[in-house]
Amino acid sequence: LHDSLIAAVADAADLPALEGVRVGALGKQGSVSALLKTLGGMTPEQRQTEGPRINGLREAVSAAIAARKAALEQAALDQRLASERIDLSLPAPDAPAGSVHPVSQVMDELAEIFADLGFSVATGPEIEDDWHNFTALNIPESHPARAMHDTFYFGDDTARDGRRMLLRTHTSPVQIRTMTSKAPPIRIIAPGRTYRSDSDATHTPMFHQVEGLVIDRGIHMGHLKWTLETFVRAFFERDDIVLRMRPSYFPFTEPSAEVDVGYTLDKGRRVIGGAMPDGWMEILGSGMVHPKVIAACGLDPDEWQGFAFGCGIDRLAMLKYGMDDLRAFFDGDLRWLRHYGFAA
Ligand code: PHE
């Protein structure tokens, strides 16, 4: 029995086969276990000679099984190491890299340009109330500007303290939030998403604006014009850009001005810049902050003045990067982004 069991252990080709041999010899019904049971029926003399033989057999078989098990496990490990080896010389698969969307890139550029002029970045909620979005900005309940803005309102059941909730129609409520939470002097820009119920090639229901606000003592239109000129020249990276200010009307600024940038024609294409413009393109609305707005924020308009402006970011990006369809900005089409060099 000893020799045949040792041979069976050596012949076991894998771990399941070896386990079969173990159960056949040492298991409850195994051949070695059966021999051990015979010891009970023996005389003391027989047991004295047979006991050590049978126990010796059991130990020899267990030892052989343990050794074979270790050998089989080592072989299995060697095989795995050989088959799973990583070939470090293979080229790595392309890892798709993300990129910064043109709108986000323009927001970053704006923050950098204005940081150099001493402005910090402020934010406000996209879900606003009508007091911050309209009333505090001198747009009373009945004012046609409320309708002009094509506002997305939330249901009356969302009203808080008698204020209707809405998607902000411009970034100007951040002016109010800043003036009511920080003491002047104030120099901030507020880039972000804005919403109006409007949709065609040049309007999307969601779009981006950047607000600018300066509140200090002795601020006048000259500061506004210089700031806008400096900003536009830095943004379009040309020193020969001229601005034109046209009198306009916003309820929250007085006086108000719409600002155009001069463009020149290059083979029929409009290029921003040129000391002698061929035409003008409107880029933003601006003005001196209305005394009523300053008072609504709890500041004394006789002590504090300032200017504000609001500018469409998507429009700026289109002009800077020569893009022509606003809607494509929000389609997330990688081919479009690649075409303008914004995705790998
Ligand atoms: N909020 C105005 C708009 O959306 C722009 C603006 C901002 C005008 C600040 C004047 C001052 O059209």
Q: Dump the DSSP string for 82-107.
A: HHT---TTSPPPP-PPP---HHHHHH
Is the CB of residue 170 below 6 angstroms from any atom belonging to ligand 1? Answer: yes
How far is residue 79's CA from residue 151's CA, in Å, rounded to a whole number? 69
How far is residue 226's CA from residue 241's CA, in Å, rounded to a whole number? 12
Containing H/E element for 81?
A: helix 44-83
Quote the pTM value: 0.73
Å from CA of 275 to ligand 1 middle: 27
Nearest atom of ligand 1 to the alpha carbon of 307: 11
Give the mutation target among 128, 133, 139, 172 for probing the ligand 1 site: most ligand atoms within 8 A of CB. Answer: 172
- What CA dihedral angle connects 154, 159, 162 and 168, to 10 degrees? -40
Q: Are 296 and 314 in contact (CB under 8 A)?
A: no
How far is residue 20's CA from residue 24's CA, in Å, rounded to a whole number? 6
Q: Is 138 left (phi over 0), alpha (psi -120 to 50) or beta?
A: left
Strand 243-250 versus strand 279-289 pairing type? unpaired
Is the CB of residue 253 below 6 angstroms from any atom belonging to ligand 1? Answer: yes
How far is residue 279's CA from residue 146's CA, in Å, rounded to a whole number? 32
Burial class (CB in 10 A: 0-12, 13-18, 19+), 330: middle
pLDDT tens-digit readout, 111-167: 999 999 999 999 999 999 999 999 999 998 888 777 766 889 998 888 888 899 999
pLDDT tens-digit readout, 228-255: 999 999 999 999 999 999 999 999 999 9
Give the mutation target among 132, 137, 170 for probing the ligand 1 site: most ligand atoms within 8 A of CB. Answer: 170
| C-beta contacts of 87-96 below 8 A and 24+ residues apart | 96/344
Mean pLDDT of 18-44: 90
pLDDT value of residue 85? 82
**Nearest CA, atom 6, ligand 1:** 310
- Taking alpha carbons only, the member of 259, 266, 261, 263 closest to residue 274 is 263
Is the ipTM of this structure higher than 0.90? yes
Mean pLDDT of 2-25: 91
Helix (H, G, I), strand (E, B) or coil at 188: strand
More confident residue, 14 or 189: 189
pLDDT tens-digit readout, 259-299: 999 999 999 888 999 999 999 999 999 999 999 999 999 99
How far is residue 107's CA from residue 191's CA, in Å, rounded to a whole number? 7
